Structure 1
Amino acid sequence: MQDLGTTVDGMAAAVRAVGAHLAAVQRPEPVPATTAAQALAAFRAVDGPAAAMLRERLGALRPSAGWWEDELTGEVPADGEWWVCDATDGAVQYLHGLPHWAVTATLVRDGEARAAVVHAPRSGATYTAARGGGARLDGRPIAPVPRGLEVALAATAHPPLVGGNDIARRRAGASMTALLGRVLAVRNLGPTALQVARVGSGHLGLFWEYGSDAGNLLPGALIAAEAGAVVTDAAGRPWSPAADSFLAAAPGPHAEAVAALAVVD
């Protein structure tokens, strides 16, 4: 069996190849879809070939690992070794001709992320991490920046669009109210995994989200944690793929954010 360092190198090569393909075929103007069905068809036309390319490359790298097809369920397998990937992470932005999208790959073993790569083709940034081996951006070790909330650039994401998320949407709205007066600015800067990884490199002060979103959160969560960020749910409890909220920040700002979010029901 390959060591994780060799696996991460192969993963990075795979996601960069897929990212280059997607960048080459991305339209500079928005896809002219005016209905949900048209938008879904446009997405599948792009994502299908990209996902097949990613699966082929990663399958050759780790033939014994399965391929997790149900990324939109918010769950990941609890047993065995699996690839949990998103060939077009940030598909909404991609289809609108925007640069804020990424390609992600995570090797999950027994429900725990072991290695992760998040690649942003339009900026050329590649985040990598192996459990116990630290995190890197373009090969350089990274660490979060412990800015206080008053000077922190905070990021968040829309609760996942899967069933049963009315509570998550209400909590997301309440959390925005709770944090708007406490942080320098709040932004949604595209793919969830990329935003969480940017907490690990200090480009963002914190990231939070409500709802079960394991497939999107796993790669960034490993990268941020290996970089030295605190990764929990919104109440400060250890995060797991089954959690219904997420928070990542440097240690000091993390405690401040947990206190701010305590008002959310």
Structure 2
Amino acid sequence: MSTPAHGPSEPGGVAPQAGPTADGENAELLEIALEAARRAGALLRDGRPADLGVAATKSSPIDVVTEMDIAAEKLITAYIGRQRPDDGFLGEEGASSEGTSGIRWVIDPLDGTVNYLYGLPAWSVSIAAERDGEAVVGVVEAPMRRETYQAVLGGGAYVEGTRAHCRPAPDFEHALVATGFSYLRERRVAMAEVIKGLLPQVRDIRRGGSAAIDLADVGCGRLDAYYERGLNPWDLAAGALFAREAGALTGGRPGEPPSGELTLAAPPGLFEPLQRRLDELGAWHD
């Protein structure tokens, strides 16, 4: 029989909150993901140095890594590795191993690094567990929101003990759509052209700075849709599962799954026309 899986109980003996339905190994994976994300979120929130600086750059000089990204990934992989030593890893800051169990952890230890560097609150920890390449558990921890988003394949999506549901599809012209931008200069020029074509046709555009939070916000009904080009597996694995379990559709170009070319999340009825429009606008290429 399926039973609700819960995160760690609150201090003072408060009962754990309701969470996704999970059986067997999925329940174990969810518990581990919740605890790893909680620990990393606390480290990032409470351990941020006043003189935080850039430790390295990635795709361009403005695509940065801080010492806290690296520390958070080490914390997560060490914790999960103690619990499940045979699992594999794919992490943004370099954690990579095949494993032998069929489970791979896909980790973004700090999604929204530039926000974090500047002291803006829209950053998160994203952890997904994949079985044979399919995300089965996803957790997005947003410490500055005091919210944890958790989902299990077939078991629903929850935020702070409440079942999450995406909004019903609005008319296209009333859609609030979030997106993100590359740190590559040439790609930004193409992205600006897509925005130029899309903005007059929808309610408005939002740019939050954390793909994981944007995907979770679609699942929570705080956004009607989200799209972005250039995401990596760790950016979208947990958030896309959450959005789907909350009733949204996810994909890339028509007929394709979410990918680095294009990731889109929206409720049925909005997903299809938005996907077509983004394809027409060339949102999938530079």
* TM-score, normalised via structure 2 length: 0.78
Equivalent in 238, 249, 258 of residue 230 of structure 1:
249
Equivalent in 218, 237, 246 of residue 237 of structure 2:
218
SS of alignment partner, residue 181 of structure 1: helix
User: Is 2:73 the partner of 1:54?
Assistant: no
Q: Is the 1:72–1:215 Cα contact (8 Å) retained in structure 2? A: no
CA 7–180 in structure 1, closer or farther in 2 if over 3 Å, else same: same
Q: Report the equivalent of 1:136.
A: 158
Code of the residue aligned with 1:101 in structure 2: it is W
* TM-score, normalised via structure 1 length: 0.83
Q: Report the equivalent of 2:132.
A: 110
Q: Is the 1:171–1:210 Cα contact (8 Å) retained in structure 2? A: no
Higher helix share: 1
Aligned mates of 2:127, 2:208 — CA distance in 1: 19
After TM superposition, what 4+ stretches of structure 1 lie above 4 angstroms from structure 2? 30-33, 168-171
How much is the aligned-residue C-alpha RMSD, in angstroms?
A: 3.0
Cα offset, 1:160, TM superposition: 6.5
CA 174–110 in structure 1, closer or farther in 2 if over 3 Å, else same: farther
The structure with higher relative contact order (CA 8 Å, sep 6+) is 1
Q: Report the equivalent of 1:255.
A: 272
Runs of 5+ unmatched residues, structure 1? none
Aligned mates of 2:133, 2:274 — CA distance in 1: 27
Cα offset, 1:152, TM superposition: 2.3
Identity %: 31
Cα offset, 1:63, TM superposition: 2.5
Cα offset, 1:90, TM superposition: 0.9
The alignment of Structure 1 onto Structure 2 pairs a total of residues equal to 252
Equivalent in 131, 156, 159 of residue 182 of structure 2:
159
Code of the residue aligned with 2:162 in structure 1: it is R
SS of alignment partner, residue 144 of structure 1: coil
Q: Report the equivalent of 1:26.
A: 48
Equivalent in 173, 190, 209 of residue 228 of structure 2:
209
State the Cα deviation string for residues 168-197 of structure 1 (Å, max 9, x = none): 545523321222012211111121111111
